[in-house]
Structure 1
Amino acid sequence: MSVRHPSMSDPRSGRVLVALLGFLLVLILAAAGTAFFAWSWVQSQFVAPGPAVEVTVVVIPRGEGLIQIANRFEREGVVSDARLFRLLVTLEEADRDLRAGEYAFPPEASMRDILERVREGVVVQYPITFAEGLTSAMIVRILEASDVLTGEISETPPEGSLLPETYLVQRGTPRSEIIARMQSDQDALIARLWPNRADDLPFDTVEEAIILASIVEKETGIAEERPRVAAVFVNRLRRGMSLDSDPTIIYGITGGEPLGRGIRRSELDNTNNPYNTYHFAGLPPGPIANPGPDAIAAVLNPADTRDLFFVADGTGGHVFAETYAQHQRNVANWRRVERERGGR
């Protein structure tokens, strides 16, 4: 009769252990497979087309956190699940990168597309256009009429201190910020143009250049004419002649608002109007509008001519003359055009 040694292992217990290990391995593989497919599904949701069927505008107020933003996106219909969007933001470690503002999300934008737009601050931009030659009061009225901008304007900026252009703004931009940008842009333009100005100009300061540029701006709306119009005024200043500019008289009467009629002889003869450049030689006491870049550049580098006069030619432009006799003939032609138009 044989006796089993106590240290000898039972073959059945080995098989049980192997089976148990195999079962655990199957569970692990199954769990890993489930996790893999679950993670793949989550990743696919991040890049899947979103639920929006048209461009959707969403405003993220300042101070909102991730949970509020995600819920807002789900409520506005640009993401299908706020929790998945929060997961994406968390995985990207982008919760501190979300920027307030007004966003226009395209149809079917994915969660990742939406996140990238908000991270980069791709907000809706609104153009606000200020035409050359507007007074500062007119520019303030445009700013105040905008329903995109916010805040009050405490005082009208100095005349001639703003650079009229088209500015892109986002909803909620303070009106005072636009004024600051217009002033800063003019400063930058002057800093670039002033060092390259023509020699022997009949003025010494930037302020005087802006005054003259504002007159040029109001005298012609044709960009190609501005250097020649500027040359007329520069030549007259060099000779000590009066500028004889109608827009300066109008500014002295209305502050730059349209007169709505012709200038009267009594207004031409009015010596109490400091902007009467028919009576006072030299530059008026200040700008009469906010000149654009072309007018400023024209004054700093006027055309090389000996012109001293110009008058309307009936086509929207002007005809120029070096002598008073030539100018009188040009004026007579203009008067004839006026009579013909009046007859029609």
Structure 2
Amino acid sequence: MWRSLASNVLTLLIIALFLLGGLVLWGQGEYRAEGPLDGPMCLRVERGSNMTRVSETLLAEGAVTSEKLFRIGADYAGKSGQLKAGSFLLPEGASMEDIVDVVTRGGASTCGTEVVFRIGVTQITTQVTTYDTAENAFVVAAEFDPTEGTQPQEYSAARATADTRYRMVVAEGTTSWQVVEGLKAMDMLEGTIAEVPDEGTLAPDSYEVVNGAQRQALLDEMEAVQVLRVGAAWESRDPSVPVDSPEELLILASIIEKETGVPEERGQVASVFVNRLEEGMRLQTDPTVIYGITKGEGVLGRGLRQSELRGVTPWNTYVILGLPPTPIANPGMASLEAAANPDNTDYLFFVADGSGGHAFARTLEEHNSNVARWREIEAERANN
């Protein structure tokens, strides 16, 4: 009887182990299988949260089929204690294994709310963007001028949210004074700025910003990036370009930056200025005259007067020969590259063509014809 009982117990144990093994295999399959999400989902994980709260949220949102299996899988993978705070984008059909990986991997949030400070040539704006899972893209929830003192509710809510991300976008062609004024308007930054950096020494780009960051530290970062960019452009330059130092290359690039907003034109615009320098001609570019008036502090906001075109300043290239003594803005990498390696043309003139770009000319006669056409376009627009 005991032998029979032992045999039955052994049989039951084998069956139990077999069933348990099958259950484990089933659980692993379910954990790794495509999940029920029928579209992207933005999952927010609060600071101090845990896998239990996350699994409950996921079940309520229809992202997993079993909160218990989700937690067991995270425990089995040794990731239960690695949960990160933030807002994470879960793709359509994400498995439980995929979701555990996303919320424990760390790094920047991939959805949620982002505040973007844009420092432009003519204005400073603050945008509050949120991730729209239906559109699968960030959408602007609010936009305002931070220098006016009024803040929309969306911005206040974003500032009160711990995992809000911040980014600063500095446009190509901004002046150093404009960048400093923009940093002063960013109320999530701290610290004072000792002085406005030299013109041209700040790299226009998009910068991730941490809440409470020091304003001066951001300026230092931008200066370091620009040093690298100018150095790279100088090393790759065409040796026939008539500039004698990285500083002169930076000055030329800043003029190119202010003369055209059309990327495809930068090389042609650069060739005009290089050809004029080689011919001993004055550059005769309006942005240098404007800089002599404003010193980069704000926008002129009107057309130039004839007296200003004739006025003597160190930057007025209608009066001086060669390059002005300093840059007139902060150029981007594309303009630095254009200055270092301009197109090979025999153009000496250019004027607006009415399309946002310019008409280029080799002779004064061609240029005068282009100017006459531009005057006609201006007159037509004034009458409409």
Provide TM-score, normalisation by structure 1: 0.73
State the partner residue of 2:74. 89
State the partner residue of 2:300. 259
C-alpha distance in 2 between matches for 1:86 and 1:121: 18
Aligned residues of 2:230 and 2:250 also touching (Cα < 8 A)? no
Paired AA for residue 56 in structure 2: E
Unaligned runs of 5+ in 1: 1-15
State the partner residue of 2:256. 216
Provide TM-score, normalisation by structure 2: 0.67
Q: Post-superposition shift, 1:22?
A: 1.1
Paired AA for residue 202 in structure 1: P
Match of 1:59, SS state, is: strand
Superposed CA deviations along residues 257-285 of structure 1, whole A, max 9, x for unmatched, are 443321123322333x4432223333233
State the partner residue of 2:86. 101
Match of 1:21, SS state, is: helix
Q: Does 1:39 align with 2:24?
A: yes
Match of 1:102, SS state, is: strand
Q: Post-superposition shift, 1:216?
A: 0.9
Q: How do residues 147-296 of structure 1 correspond to structure 2 at under 5 angstroms? A: 151-152=189-190, 154-155=192-193, 158-164=198-204, 167=206, 186-254=226-294, 255=296, 257-271=298-312, 273-296=313-336
Q: How many residues align?
A: 322
Instruction: Single out whichever of 126-135 and 246-255 deviates more from structure 2.
Output: 126-135
C-alpha distance in 1 between matches for 2:174 and 2:55: 42
C-alpha distance in 2 between matches for 1:69 and 1:173: 29
State the partner residue of 2:56. 74
Compute the RMSD of aligned alpha carbons. Answer: 4.0
Mark the CA change 1:215 to 1:42 in structure 2 (over 3 Å): closer, same or farther.
same
Aligned residues of 1:233 and 1:243 also touching (Cα < 8 A)? yes
Aligned residues of 2:183 and 2:189 also touching (Cα < 8 A)? no
Mark the CA change 1:274 to 1:153 in structure 2 (over 3 Å): closer, same or farther.
farther
Question: Bigger radius of gyration, 1 or 2?
Answer: 1
Q: How do residues 330-341 of structure 1 correspond to structure 2 at under 5 angstroms? A: 330-341=370-381
Aligned residues of 1:132 and 1:290 also touching (Cα < 8 A)? yes
C-alpha distance in 1 between matches for 2:290 and 2:278: 24
State the partner residue of 1:4. none
C-alpha distance in 2 between matches for 1:208 and 1:193: 12
Aligned residues of 2:89 and 2:110 also touching (Cα < 8 A)? yes
- Which structure features the higher share of strand residues? 2
Paired AA for residue 235 in structure 1: N
Superposed CA deviations along residues 3-61 of structure 1, whole A, max 9, x for unmatched, are xxxxxxxxxxxxx2312321321342243134224423432442355565653322346
Superposed CA deviations along residues 189-225 of structure 1, whole A, max 9, x for unmatched, are 4454432311232222223212211211211222332
Paired AA for residue 58 in structure 1: L
Match of 1:87, SS state, is: helix
State the partner residue of 1:303. 343
Aligned residues of 1:101 and 1:171 also touching (Cα < 8 A)? no
C-alpha distance in 1 between matches for 2:38 and 2:212: 29
Instruction: Single out whichever of 302-311 and 89-98 deviates more from structure 2.
Output: 89-98
Aligned residues of 1:74 and 1:80 also touching (Cα < 8 A)? no
State the partner residue of 1:319. 359
Mark the CA change 1:53 to 1:245 in structure 2 (over 3 Å): closer, same or farther.
same
Match of 1:310, SS state, is: strand
Mark the CA change 1:97 to 1:141 in structure 2 (over 3 Å): closer, same or farther.
farther
1:26 to 11, 14, 19: 11
Aligned residues of 2:231 and 2:246 also touching (Cα < 8 A)? no
Aligned residues of 1:143 and 1:175 also touching (Cα < 8 A)? no
C-alpha distance in 1 between matches for 2:379 and 2:182: 37
C-alpha distance in 1 between matches for 2:330 and 2:274: 19
Identity of aligned residues (%): 40
Greater relative CO, 1 or 2 (CA 8 Å, sep 6+): 1
Q: Post-superposition shift, 1:145?
A: 8.3
Q: How do residues 42-61 of structure 1 correspond to structure 2 at under 5 angstroms? A: 42-48=27-33, 50=35, 54-60=39-45
C-alpha distance in 1 between matches for 2:276 and 2:199: 24
Q: Does 1:124 align with 2:110?
A: yes
Superposed CA deviations along residues 84-117 of structure 1, whole A, max 9, x for unmatched, are 4343233223356655432011355321110222
Aligned residues of 1:124 and 1:170 also touching (Cα < 8 A)? no
Mark the CA change 1:72 to 1:243 in structure 2 (over 3 Å): closer, same or farther.
same
C-alpha distance in 2 between matches for 1:96 and 1:280: 68
Aligned residues of 2:55 and 2:71 also touching (Cα < 8 A)? no
